[in-house]
Structure 1
Amino acid sequence: MHNLKIAVIGNPGSWSTEVLADALEKKTGYKCVVEMSQVTMDFDSRSLFQGEVDLASLDALVIKKIGPVYSPDMFNRLEILRFFCKIGIPVYSRPERIMAAINRLSCTVTLQKGDIPMPPTVITENINQAVKAVKKFGKAVFKPLYSSKARGMLVVEDHDNCRSEIENFQASGNTTMYIQKMIDIPGKDLGVAFLGGKYLGTYARRQGESWNTCTSSGGKYEPYEPSQEIIELAQKAQSLFDLDFTCVDVVETDQGPMVFEVSAFGGFRGLINACSIDAAALYSEYVINDLSS
């Protein structure tokens, strides 16, 4: 398969982008990382270029990241790729499937329509209703619609000053407020990974000193053997999006396992560090085998 030219759309220099590009290069002899902010689409000529690289001349694109930060700009970039698919070049995962997961509200709506158990959640632009939700929950996590690794999230408790905290959160760019009840977790949550819709493995994120389990906040990856119930729940959740590679964030609660979200891109590091699963190599094999079928 050394004649295949497969580019990775991602963030040049970032670990997950480069490890996937390296894995593809190892199997094909070709390496190309595409940064979407440097891409130009010409609708008349049906061309998509990064510098001198004509992406329409490649055999496939694999989307690992769509930008260094989560923002509405991601939708613009994915729309370009959605049109690019008309040219007939395979894209993994399909842009429209990523679009359903990349926005926290869109992801939640899809999960709710699929009857996936989640922590109680309220969506509102109204400050009074947001205060009411905090009083109802006792303690709530306010989550930006575009964020990862708990960036920009705010924990708000029911107290006299909670209104001002909520007003500040909304004023900082969160017109639509995503408010989720803060639930007790058993010191960890889980990343349940799937490749081509098939279960790949599970890692735990052990909580550090922070309220969240993110490794950027002191959390640690650990191996974990989930119950069949957890695997089946995560399988059902990811099937609603049909992504080529993804991780489902699951938490065990007194009411049973619940899903926080389905990742638009999925993570490699937890799988390699906790489970010794080289997801980048497996993903590259999956893409090459699919192109060969």
Structure 2
Amino acid sequence: MNASKKDRKIAVIGNPGSWSTEKLADALENKTGFRCVVDISSVIFDINHKTLFYGDLDLATLDGLAIKKIGPVYSPDMYNRLEMLRFFCSMEIPVFSRPEMIMQAVNRLSCTVNLQIGNIPMPPTVVTEDMELACDTVRRFKKAVFKPLFSSKARGMLVVEEGYHCRSAIAEFQASGNRTMYIQKMVSIPGRDLGVAFMGGEYIGTYARRKGDSWNTCTSSGGKYERCEPDPEIISLAHSAQALFNLDFTCVDVVETDQGAMVFEVSAFGGFRGLYQAWGMDAADMYAGYILDNLKYRS
């Protein structure tokens, strides 16, 4: 006899204490009575015994895992953590979103390659390790944004303009741990970009980030969330972009330019706060319901 949804035990892989992680854990607890937030950096993976322990809890005994975050900062360590979780998918333990899908989006270059294979329009972008080619790119773009391969919320990004200080700025960026330089032309935007959200591949809503005094729209830099009802063409573009990754919950970053809508990236994890502050939409509760509805029930 199958257990009811109320009896299910779903752990949230995330950053203990962070808003989105705790919101999802609260939502799952409200629906099941079980609550567990797992800091993936504090687990031990025993390959021979096929166990993944967090304290005294073997995660392999649970009904599923929900990945909200995989660490407080984006870094190559994410791949190692996702690999541990990927093993458990082979044991038919449901994981939302599947680790191999997240891997395609968590690295900016991997995300870009997938978007380009899918013919998704993006701002002009160049990737190189060569200083001279990087300088030539800035001269061609006039103004460019240098982006770390692992980052979120514009952390570590650098705006570089052609001119006397161009080379020194690029050298400093590369020396700070960015051997491979991801260089994107700074495009003119109407003071905002859009987060187009999807759950299970279905569109659920859009919020805008209106920039403050900074060059970027991130709320950590003074940006504000606001309501947005985009044109069907933008929703269609974002839908095509997210479909390349097959994530259970994600937000597609879209920018409106004078050359049409373009995609910056598809989020590996998606965000709840934009939908909540712009629309009052409890995406965490919706996602908890989605997870329970899509569990592969076991006897």
Whether TM-score is above 0.5 comes out as yes
1:292 Cα shift?
A: 6.2
SS at match of 2:184: strand
Deviation per CA, 1:269-291: give whole Å up to 9, x if none.
00000011110000000011112
Q: 2:11 aligns with which of 1, 7, 21?
A: 7
Query: Are 2:98 and 1:94 aligned?
Result: yes
Query: Are 2:257 and 1:246 aligned?
Result: no
Are 2:148 and 2:182, in contact at CA under 8 Å, matched by a contact in 1? yes
Unaligned runs of 5+ in 1: none
Query: Are 2:101 and 1:108 aligned?
Result: no
Query: Are 2:145 and 1:127 aligned?
Result: no
- Structure 2: how far apart are the matches of 1:197 and 1:252? 22
SS at match of 2:6: coil
Query: Are 2:205 and 1:196 aligned?
Result: no
- Give the partner amino acid of 1:48: L
Are 1:103 and 1:146, in contact at CA under 8 Å, matched by a contact in 2? yes
Residue 219 of structure 1: aligned partner: 223
Identity of aligned residues (%): 70
SS at match of 2:171: helix
SS at match of 2:44: strand
Cα RMSD, aligned residues only: 0.7
Q: 2:25 aligns with which of 21, 28, 35?
A: 21
- Structure 1: how far apart are the matches of 2:271 and 2:14? 13
SS at match of 2:8: coil
SS at match of 1:185: coil
Counterpart mapping for 1:223-238 below 5 A:
223-238=227-242
Counterpart mapping for 1:5-84 below 5 A:
5-84=9-88
SS at match of 1:192: strand
- The number of equivalent residue pairs is 293
Query: Are 2:292 and 1:288 aligned?
Result: yes
SS at match of 2:27: helix
Query: Are 2:150 and 1:146 aligned?
Result: yes
Deviation per CA, 1:72-96: give whole Å up to 9, x if none.
0001000111112112110000000
Deviation per CA, 1:149-176: give whole Å up to 9, x if none.
0000000000011001000000000000
Runs of 4+ in structure 1 off by over 4 angstroms are none
- Structure 2: how far apart are the matches of 1:46 and 1:29? 27
SS at match of 2:119: coil
User: TM-score w.r.t. structure 2 length?
Assistant: 0.97
Unaligned runs of 5+ in 2: none
